[in-house]
Chains A and B, each alone.
Chain A
Amino acid sequence: MPSTRDIRRHIRGVKNIRQVTKAMHMVAAARLRRAQAKAEAARPYAERLGVILRDVFAANPATRHPLLVQRPLRRVGLVVISSDRGLCGAFNAGILREAGRFVEAQTADVGLMTVGRKAREFFQRMEITIDQSFLQPSRDVRLEEVGLISKQIINDYTAGQYDQIHLAYARFAGVLKSGPVVSQLLPVPPPGAAEGIVPRAGACQFEPAAEALLGALLPQYVEVLVYRALVESLAGEQAARMVAMKSATDSASDMIETLTREYNRVRQTAITTQILEVVSGAEALGHEK
């Protein structure tokens, strides 16, 4: 049976852990709010840009712009967006699982790119070749950081290294629409086709002409898609960490309760034994008289 001192030490240890997990829970909650606000703030811009793209595309549906044209698939690129840091539950595992499912479903060759340390380390451990890896952007997700990543992706795509590029990331849009997804980045899916919106023909003029305007719009649009994926992943990561740290804190509390009960029992037993010893000792003395 453990001594009271051992149990006390154990309780102290668990309490320290609980303090840490509680702090991490609160930090994650604050960062989640900030990331959510960021994702929220980007939405009007992204939607407007989508509408512009649709209008310009509608006026020029026969365009052969390289970022829109479907090519025969020889090699597919998959950008796996993970986090740099752990202690966020099954967050990264979920994305990697989704990415794995995607790779298995492909008939063409797949080239992997990673964002964040966790995905890179995972593929390295599995001895799977990574074409390229990026660090996770800082918490403010600066436009320069995103620009670098999206520019590199666009370059690789136009250079013919990939014929299609997908993003595997954690979508974060409300409780129901959150979770790991894979979505196509390049070629940009023909705008408006999915929504079934009838283009307003000839309603709008352009400067420069539609073809050149598309050339300016598409890289911007891709950048916005990458930005959103990164910001939503960040929010997802913080949400996952918050949940993980909450349950860790709760488990620690449960454990402290159990340990305290055991400590009291051990202490009681020790006292009872001591009393018994004193009493039987006294009795032994009394008989001698």
Chain B
Amino acid sequence: MAEKTFQLEILTLQRLFLREQVRFLIAPGQEGVFEILPGHAPFIFALKPGPLRIRQPDGKDAHIAVGGGFLVVEAGNVSILTRSAEHPEEIDRARAAKAEARAQERLQKRDGVDVLRAQAALQRALARLKVAEYGGKGL
């Protein structure tokens, strides 16, 4: 028997990033990582920048780096609204590594730095690096 799936849609301001059927997904919630299976009740989550893992109908996993945003479960389908979404192959690892180093440095100095902003930048950089790594392995 084919496994149950639901539709996942990822929207950014620039484009419809993705629309496909998935078996389940694991998303980086602001209050912790959570999983969504088919038949989930209506829910709105706030996301933080991090890796999003998707189990595709063929049983393979895909990873996507999302830059925070919101995840909505509605009528059994899931939409993610995010400022940025990237497939592993789209990620510039060197740039992400540089961004991580810069954010770490800022957080260490702590003087006159917008701490929240630096933290967000750090999270985004780490999410990208993680996704680039997973994606490369074809986990």
Q: Which A residues are closer than 8 A to B by beta carbons?
A: 38, 41-42, 44-46, 48-49, 52, 55-56, 143, 203-208, 212-213, 216-217, 220, 224, 227
Tell me whether B44 and A204 are in contact (CB under 8 A). yes
CA distance A224 to B69 in the complex (A): 12
Give the nearest-CB partner of A207 in chain B.
Answer: B45
Instruction: Write the nearest CB–CB distance from B67 to chain A, whole angstroms.
Output: 9
Chain B residue numbers with a CB within 8 Å of A49 are 70, 81
Instruction: Write the nearest CB–CB distance from A53 to chain B, whole angstroms.
Output: 10
Give the nearest-CB partner of A142 in chain B.
Answer: B14
Chain A residue numbers with a CB within 8 Å of B14 are 38, 41-42
CA distance A38 to B12 in the complex (A): 11
Q: Given known contacts A45-B11, A52-B81, is B16 in contact with A213 (CB within 8 Å)?
A: no
Binary CB contact string for chain B from 13 to 37 against chain A (1 if under 8 A, 0 otherwise):
1111000000000000111001000
Tell me whether A143 and B46 are in contact (CB under 8 A). no
Q: Given known contacts A204-B43, A213-B44, A216-B30, is B13 in contact with A48 (CB within 8 Å)?
A: no
Interface of B is mostly: strand
CA distance A204 to B40 in the complex (A): 11
Give the nearest-CB partner of B82 in chain A.
Answer: A45
Tell me whether B16 and A44 are in contact (CB under 8 A). yes
Chain B residue numbers with a CB within 8 Å of A143 are 13, 83-84
Tell me whether B44 and A56 are in contact (CB under 8 A). yes
Partner of A207, one of B15, B46, B69, B84: B46
- Would you give 11 A-B contacts (Cβ < 8 Å), ordered by A? A42-B13, A45-B12, A45-B13, A46-B13, A52-B70, A143-B83, A205-B44, A207-B29, A207-B45, A216-B70, A217-B46
Total of A-B residue pairs, C-beta within 8 Å? 64
Interface size class of B (residues with CB under 8 A): 20 to 34
Chain B residue numbers with a CB within 8 Å of A205 are 41-44
Confirm or deny: B79 has a beta carbon within 8 angstroms of a beta carbon on chain A: yes
Partner of A206, one of B13, B44, B83, B84: B44
Give the nearest-CB partner of A204 in chain B.
Answer: B42
Chain B residue numbers with a CB within 8 Å of A224 are 13
Give the nearest-CB partner of B69 in chain A.
Answer: A220
Instruction: Write the nearest CB–CB distance from B4 to chain A, whole angstroms.
Output: 21
Instruction: Write the nearest CB–CB distance from B115 to chain A, whole angstroms.
Output: 15
Tell me whether B43 and A206 are in contact (CB under 8 A). yes
Tell me whether A207 and B41 are in contact (CB under 8 A). no
CA distance A45 to B12 in the complex (A): 6
Chain B residue numbers with a CB within 8 Å of A206 are 43-45
- Interface contacts beyond A205-B44, A207-B30: sample of 19 additional A-B pairs, CB < 8 Å, sorted by A: A41-B15, A42-B13, A44-B11, A45-B12, A45-B13, A49-B70, A49-B81, A52-B72, A143-B13, A143-B83, A143-B84, A204-B44, A205-B43, A207-B31, A207-B44, A207-B46, A212-B46, A213-B44, A217-B46
Chain A residue numbers with a CB within 8 Å of B41 are 205
Chain B residue numbers with a CB within 8 Å of A203 are 42
Chain A residue numbers with a CB within 8 Å of B13 are 41-42, 45-46, 143, 224, 227
Tell me whether B31 and A208 are in contact (CB under 8 A). yes
CA distance A213 to B81 in the complex (A): 14
A-B pairs, top 8 by smallest CB distance, nearest first, are: A204-B42, A216-B46, A45-B11, A42-B13, A206-B44, A205-B43, A207-B45, A45-B13
CA distance A208 to B30 in the complex (A): 7
CA distance A172 to B70 in the complex (A): 27
Give the nearest-CB partner of A38 in chain B.
Answer: B14
Tell me whether A217 and B70 are in contact (CB under 8 A). yes
CA distance A52 to B31 in the complex (A): 19
B42-63 contacts to A, CB under 8 A, are 42-46
Scoring B13, B31, B34, B41 by chain A CB atoms within 10 A of each residue's CB, the highest score goes to: B13
Instruction: Write the nearest CB–CB distance from A200 to chain B, whole angstroms.
Output: 9
CA distance A133 to B70 in the complex (A): 31
Tell me whether B46 and A52 are in contact (CB under 8 A). no
Give the nearest-CB partner of A44 in chain B.
Answer: B11
CA distance A205 to B15 in the complex (A): 27
Q: Given known contacts A45-B12, A48-B11, is B44 in contact with A55 (CB within 8 Å)?
A: yes
